[in-house]
Structure 1
């Protein structure tokens, strides 16, 4: 069942209808493929999955993960998915711990994200995202990264800014074999347990996110669990043309990040920052995005009126 089916307006009737293929794994229909698929027919799809990366020399898990896109097919509903032996290789990809990822959004390029290995602060090798958390109306998958800690990761001990390059929301385009996955900084840096995508009344994309600590499998967070909402500045453009897709691929870089109000504070959502301005006194946009949990505890963060 498509988790977005109750949220999408009629104009998104051609959007992907993903199947759940296990914990944090989705299969998107290959027939859709923005109208350009060469593998038409029922029962064919692209499986997007993640797993823990393993050190080849020791066989032990590392702090990073691998993401894979694999062309699959099945003979009927309820039957197991099987890898396409031939014909689907153009789509098949594996992003290992040495694969390049691009940082985008307001924090990209900031001094706090620059390292000796990457003075630009815009290119990261590897990801700590394992599971797919959501599928967007324009056919990409969103993966929440874990944060890295100096005590557990050698690269962080060598360069403390390396930790700031993990914990973001990764957007992967399964339908474009040449696309580099993007770490979106505008939705904030924290470990996400789950998220839901919807559209506002005027057609902007909204992402509701719960940080690690919420009650798994429930619609509400545990007391003290972090809850955030990102709302894009621009509207989603329905359709499958290249121009419409390029527009939608930029939606997560511009918008406003909110935190849920808590005890002793104004109820509802509190503005933390947008892509140009911070609403937390004494903190820049990048500082808010790097640590939204501490920013949403600021007593003088401006409420959404």
Structure 2
């Protein structure tokens, strides 16, 4: 039975969107309350490009990751060679057959994780748990930056699990820590201006990534952190102090140079790490998303820089725009009045090698700079690596990166070292799509056109290849550093918040989550089109790409919308033609993944505000007779978002990140809206779900 919907607190000072006002404040700096950043199509674009190029006059052009991993695969010779079983498993596309047989979980508003009958779930690791050897026990009233730098960070998002060489009972759990919510972290919180410098540094240390060695409990699907003093792989990467190397054509160029880094090649920290992916060579990709909220002083930045800052959501209307973190009080580099280029050093795809805890993480400029949700990789038939990416903001674009070099299979150190360079050079594309139905049939209501589906054709428009720009008036470095403006210039299609993008291991088709866009077709904003067919799109949809001839390096494709989300009883929803009376309600798709049978798993972010139920994890076949039969697999606690998921190749375990439990307007750590998972107050955590009978999850 569905629980009675919880009465939500009013969204004070919040104009719209699908999240609670508190989440909007801390997640993205109240992006919905600011003007739409993408104003291409009017004089704004010309102003941006000309101003930036004037200021930058000295610039001169100079298999599937994160889906299924091979637990039980052949042993590799060393941790450095661990990519071999990963690459082999992913490239062969090991599959199983079978429909989704679990009993769908009913929508609810419980302060708990709810799973289907016949399943169990437990917490793997939570905020404050030890990561590095010697980390102190967590004490919320005695927290320091030094302590937090050794403990599991806050607000876990992306989850990746990489098996250790030759082991099916040990793995590395890699998790993004996207952002912090100080109201739910610090007892006695009275407002952001009252935070001490130490507390600001705690928040910085709670951002970033964690690498944690985990072990299987017997032969079950349950996993727990490995205990002991000799944790060779465990690592914390933070916004506070971790050094990153910039790679690719934009590295070292003027737009990336600062007083502290005149060479423009070394960045301190990573920000707003949202989703990600696992490469066939055994590294983790992490997307820097809403970095704009960390910077202040744009009102005093050089005049020529302000349009470019605004295109990335950095307001110049005040020193401290709405939602500002005010981190300049702890580190001056966040003050754009003094360091106007610092913001250009964020918004990249980060690559981390979890098997080498001493390695320097890298930010790959060849993959473009925008608000990355993440990146997922497939090895094309030609051997080139292709990464698909979404820019998670209203009316932003879908991108594709094709490597210059080819992937080298095998376990050798030489192959792995070569593959570690694949994302440093290549060709970056942006998507432009058209529908195949008359414009009059796309009326914004969500009604299907006469041909029975939202579908059409698409083109990948080349922006830059190596050091050659294909955007008039912009150098290669300009295109890569100001990628949004490049997409504007070539007429890319404005999408409804493109988030996670995943290739299917069975078909090679690409699936992108369009989370929502309440501004679609409203006022002077971009009108509806066949790829984004609903006015004021509150619930989002799934976008499916089929590359022509199955060539992931090609430049043309067909597309369709297999799922248009919302309440199945509503006329404006669509589930692949499946009987909607048998479908679970779903709203605001965010992260997506596949199991080895080719079922698409979808996590959501926004259902409490759109469907008045907790967010959850869903699974749906996208091929065959069951296409569109979407079922809810689990729900997360009050105020939480579902992140991940990650399904292991043996199908025994589903990992999910429970982000920001209790993040509801008016809540504090002293007066919590959730006490999950331990009581007292809420803690973000990673959970794992499994079948005690040892059977495969889902079916």
- Per the TM alignment, residue 148 of structure 1 is displaced from its structure 2 partner at its CA by 3.0
Matched, 1:3 2:67: yes
Higher strand share: 1
- Which of 272, 276, 282 is the matching residue for 1:133? 276
In 1: Cα distance, 2:464 partner to 2:371 partner: 19
Rg (Cα) greater in structure: 2
In 2: Cα distance, 1:207 partner to 1:231 partner: 7
- Which of 232, 256, 269 is the matching residue for 1:90? 232
**What is the CA RMSD across the aligned residues, in angstroms?**
3.1
Contact 2:431–2:459 at 8 Å: present in 1 too? yes
Contact 2:84–2:411 at 8 Å: present in 1 too? no
Q: TM-score, normalised by structure 1?
A: 0.81
In 2: Cα distance, 1:31 partner to 1:162 partner: 39
Which residue in 1 is equivalent to 2:367? 187
In 1: Cα distance, 2:158 partner to 2:225 partner: 18
Higher relative contact order (CA 8 A, sep 6+): 2
Contact 1:63–1:148 at 8 Å: present in 2 too? no
In 2: Cα distance, 1:201 partner to 1:252 partner: 17
Which residue in 1 is equivalent to 2:459? 268
Q: Is the deviation greater in 63-72 or in 89-98?
A: 63-72
In 1: Cα distance, 2:458 partner to 2:273 partner: 33
In 2: Cα distance, 1:26 partner to 1:116 partner: 36
- Per the TM alignment, residue 251 of structure 1 is displaced from its structure 2 partner at its CA by 0.5
Which residue in 2 is equivalent to 1:221? none
In 2: Cα distance, 1:44 partner to 1:64 partner: 25
- Per the TM alignment, residue 42 of structure 1 is displaced from its structure 2 partner at its CA by 2.6
Cα distance change of structure 1 residues 109 and 42 upon mapping to structure 2, 3 Å threshold: same
- Which of 147, 151, 160 is the matching residue for 2:340? 160
In 1: Cα distance, 2:270 partner to 2:374 partner: 18
- Which of 193, 200, 204 is the matching residue for 2:380? 200
Contact 1:156–1:163 at 8 Å: present in 2 too? no
Gaps of 5+ in 1: 6-11, 33-40, 215-223
**Matched residue pairs, number?**
279
In 2: Cα distance, 1:29 partner to 1:88 partner: 18
Q: Is the deviation greater in 268-277 or in 78-87?
A: 78-87
SS at match of 2:478: helix
In 2: Cα distance, 1:73 partner to 1:299 partner: 49
In 2: Cα distance, 1:225 partner to 1:58 partner: 34
Q: How does 1:191-230 map to 2 (within 5 A)?
A: 191-213=371-393, 224-230=395-401
In 2: Cα distance, 1:299 partner to 1:83 partner: 48
Contact 2:384–2:406 at 8 Å: present in 1 too? yes
SS at match of 1:50: strand
Which residue in 1 is equivalent to 2:427? 256
Matched, 1:296 2:439: no
Cα distance change of structure 1 residues 78 and 278 upon mapping to structure 2, 3 Å threshold: farther
Q: How does 1:97-112 map to 2 (within 5 A)?
A: 97-112=240-255
In 1: Cα distance, 2:421 partner to 2:481 partner: 20
Cα distance change of structure 1 residues 98 and 194 upon mapping to structure 2, 3 Å threshold: closer
Gaps of 5+ in 2: 1-64, 70-82, 91-123, 125-155, 183-195, 297-323, 329-333, 436-456, 493-553, 557-699
Higher helix share: 2
In 1: Cα distance, 2:267 partner to 2:378 partner: 29
Matched, 1:14 2:85: yes
Q: Is the deviation greater in 89-98 or in 63-72?
A: 63-72
SS at match of 1:297: helix
Which residue in 2 is equivalent to 1:57? 198
Cα distance change of structure 1 residues 234 and 272 upon mapping to structure 2, 3 Å threshold: same
SS at match of 1:294: helix
Q: Deviations over 1:1-44 (max 9, x none)?
A: 96157xxxxxx8711679xx784111210125xxxxxxxx4311
Cα distance change of structure 1 residues 79 and 126 upon mapping to structure 2, 3 Å threshold: same
Which residue in 2 is equivalent to 1:219? none
SS at match of 2:484: helix
